[in-house]
Amino acid sequence: MATIYLNKKNFFNNASYYSKLLGEKNKLCIALKDNAYGHGIEQISQLSQEFGINHCIVKNIYEANIANSYNFETILVLYEIPTKNYSSNFHFTINCLDDISKYPPNTNVELKIDTGMSRNGIQVSQITEALNLIKKHTLNLKGVFTHFCCADEDNNITKTQEDIFNTSIKQIKESIKIPFRIHCANSTGSHKVDNNKYDIARIGIGLYGYIDIEKYKTNVAPVLSLYANKISSRELKKGDSIGYGATYEIPTNNYIVSNYDIGYGDGFFRINENQNAHIQDGRQILGRVSMDSLSIQGDDDEICIFDDASHLASIHDTIHYEIMTHLNTQLPRVIK
């Protein structure tokens, strides 16, 4: 069966790099959302606890309940509004002013400020009203944060957003006297701000081994690799074709081809036959990827499809996030 392997050494090295960048391990807040970017929320939660990561962010309550089995000090739920009270380590994001009245009394909340992403969060002009509504509905303000839209771009937008955010924090601190945590940076943003000013940084793709800033990318290494097992082998002759549409023609006689148990049904994108896609050792994927399988020259019992998603991301004109988050949750994930 096709299997995802998670490299513990690489994960720990990535976490050590970010611990040094942030100044201390306890500032690490790992992004576990969307099944830990395809890596497996349970497996990455386990590795996080072994390393000593105490904070995480998740997409919804379903993921929060899984993460809660691993004793995180805080679990920030990004998108779902609760209908009841949960464990005290659950924090829920306020993404919209109109939603504040929907939270049960005594819910722990974190207020998201829209500083330029123009996606989620309250507007700066709504801060006073938001604080009044939080008080009116007896919610517990545990944090204030924002999200950078261009942290991996070479421009001044991140600095502008950070300035807006810090002005907002000053306004909030003048209005309320209770302590709350402050955060703004993601994996790339943490390279652009003074991390001493903030309580945590939300690190996702960087902990999984990718940084989209050229001068920093070699400081981390990919954690996820995808392996497939042989289903069958056959010897083909020159002129024979492989797969749907007969799009790949065998170039020589005595050509050994094997079929392996990974396909687009497992979340491995269907290759455009006009593109030359390769597995990790450089061998070409022959013809079209099927729903449950693909073909490679040779007769290895097991092959590494990739241990770095960058090549496939380039082939599909996308980003490594998309390659990994599409991997089927039913594929076994094994820490090694």
Joined together, the tokens standing for residue 209 give 């081994």
Question: Which of 33, 86, 198, 208 is labelled catalytic?
Answer: 33
DSSP string, 15-69: HHHHHHHHSSGGGEEEE-HHHHHTT-HHHHHHHHHHHT--EEEESSHHHHHHHGG
Name beta bridge partners: 49: none
Joined together, the tokens standing for residue 207 give 């902990």
Question: Which of 62, 135, 238, 244 is labelled catalytic?
Answer: 244
d(CA 314, CA 311): 5
pLDDT at position 271 is: 83
d(CA 30, CA 207): 8
Q: Which residues contact 288 (CB under 8 A, 6 or more apart)?
A: 243, 244, 245, 247, 270, 271, 273
At 35, the amino acid letter reads N
User: Angle of helix 127-136 relative to helix 157-175, nearest 10 degrees?
Assistant: 40
pLDDT at position 275 is: 77
Mean pLDDT, 10 residues at a time, the chain of 336 residues: 97 98 98 98 98 98 98 97 97 97 98 97 98 98 98 93 98 95 98 97 98 94 98 98 93 98 96 83 95 98 97 93 97 98
Q: For residue 278, give the DSSP letter.
A: B
d(CA 35, CA 32): 6
Joined together, the tokens standing for residue 52 give 């000593």
198 is catalytic: no
pTM beyond 0.85, yes or no: yes
d(CA 172, CA 146): 14
Domains and CATH numbers, the chain: 8-210 (3.20.20.10), 224-335 (2.40.37.10)
Beta strands 201-203 and 28-31: pairing type? parallel
pLDDT tens column, 134-148: 999 999 999 999 999
33 is catalytic: yes
